[in-house]
Chains A and B, each alone.
Chain A
Amino acid sequence: MTATGSGTVPNPTSAPEGPVRLFAAGADAGYSAHRETYGHLEIVKGGPGLRAELERSGLEGRGGAGFSTARKIDAARQSVSDRMFPASAVVIANGAEGEPRSIKDSTLLRHSPHLVIDGLLATAALVGASRMYLYSSPESLGALRSALAERRDTRRITLVQAKETFISGEASAVVNAIENGIALPTDRTVRLTTSGLRARPTLVHNVETLAHVALIARFGGDWFRSEGVGGDAGTRLVTVSGAGQRERVLEVPGDARISDILEAAGVSTSVVSAVLVGGYHGTWIPADDLSVVLSKAALAPYGGRPGAGVLFLLARDECGLQVTASITRYLAEESAGQCGPCLYGLDALATLMERIASGRGDHGLRREAERLGLSLIGRGSCHHPDGTAGLVQSALSAFASDVEAHLTGRCRRTARV
């Protein structure tokens, strides 16, 4: 076996077949179960192999923004080589999972922590990083601590506890939390890959993204693409919840239809009137359109994207406007309060949605909500106002006939108005 020109050493273990990849080692997999299932991953520094395989895989980030993993790594490598004074890069595994309806990252960290660690080590080797961080919600710390202690190659990984707020996982907030203990987004004029933690080139990757990197490092980009399609290659983790369902995490192919995912989760689509896709910054997809594929390309016409893989169900007897008003209020309260348009604008937006939902209003309210939402976009140090405005816009359009009914004093869904 030769390591020449490769980021990792080829693996003798056979690759997982079918869409169950990230959990193939079973529940609560320790390091030995992990290696029996996936084989040992020998990390070799600096080779172009893994970089090329990531490009071939088409892997995109699983934290929400869906940016190309290869591009992001390229940007960090470029920044390292462009510097007049050398500074080694930093890689951060982001497991903050501030999305209230997502448990896929904590589930992954509990059952497959070693894939995340492998991905972190492989990515660090690729960019020549000397420091690595595992940033995770409090509930996953125990599992991670045990996993780190099980192996010898984790000495340069520092475990950091994330705050349990909605925005603690935003990339600049992650860096700020690790550097200063303040989990709030920061004003930026350059990308984190150029200057992040202590002004070093910094990669912040979602933990699921890194778990996929660990498998691509072993089995290659073509294997990754054997599930999914086009720009949505591979598999992704989704969390199904709402409408009285127990929260469930599933691993699905990148070309799975939402209706098929719900069926696999044991949900009858007949009880669902709409699904909020992506997360609280996401997009409502009405019941009639649930045959849409959970992919970037298929959701684009709806203004949506898979985001963090959240599928939050609205039951037939729930009012989408009331639910959206509650979520908007939550998001307003989760504003860091640093940026004026977010601090005042989201509060006003939530109040408008509450008035529409309560059925005490007129048609001016809808226009005002649309106008206010649009005015907030792009006016903050992070995308919290943009995402919240997007949710409201999506609700006003997906539940347009409900809005109409509410503004004439009726609710079609519940008896409350």
Chain B
Amino acid sequence: MSAAKKSTSVLHIDWTKCDGRGLCAELVPDLLGRDQWGYPIALKGSPSARSDIPLPSQRMDAATDAVRLCPVLALKIVRAS
């Protein structure tokens, strides 16, 4: 962790709120796809990072839109220190 100087923010999915509307997958299609029921699924990274998806800094704006527009408020950006 200490090695990374760039942004270590993650897009956190609250699965207890998510009901698979799919807006997020349209807003950050390079990071999120959808499974057969419409729920988001991280397209990259290890399975253990599928609830906290690492955010490249250039995707921060799009991710912020996804957080803002999620109709069930299931997303948030967590800035890791």
Contact = CB atoms under 8 A, between A and B. Distances in A.
A340 B20 contact: yes
B16 A338 contact: yes
B9 to A, nearest CB: 12
A375 interface: yes
B49 A378 contact: yes
Given A374-B47, A379-B50, A341 B15 contact: yes
Interface string A155-189: 00000000000000000000000000000011101
Interface SS, B side: loop
Contact of A381 (B16, B20, B39, B47): B16
Contacts of B52: 189
A380 interface: yes
Nearest to A184: B16
A187 B16 contact: yes
B14 A341 contact: no
Nearest to A385: B15
A56 B77 CA distance: 39
Given A189-B76, A189-B78, A339 B50 contact: no
Contacts of B76: 189
B12 A381 contact: no
A184 B77 CA distance: 24
A338 B16 CA distance: 5
A342 B46 CA distance: 18
Interface residues of A, number: 19
Interface in B1-46: 12-20, 35, 37-39, 41, 46
Nearest to A379: B50
B58 interface: no
A379 B51 contact: yes
Interface in A320-366: 338-342, 344-345
Contact of A379 (B12, B41, B78): B41
Given A377-B50, A378-B47, A379-B50, A339 B37 contact: no
Contacts of A345: 35, 37
B35 A380 contact: no
A381 B19 contact: no
Interface in B47-68: 47-52
B70 to A, nearest CB: 14
A375 B20 CA distance: 15
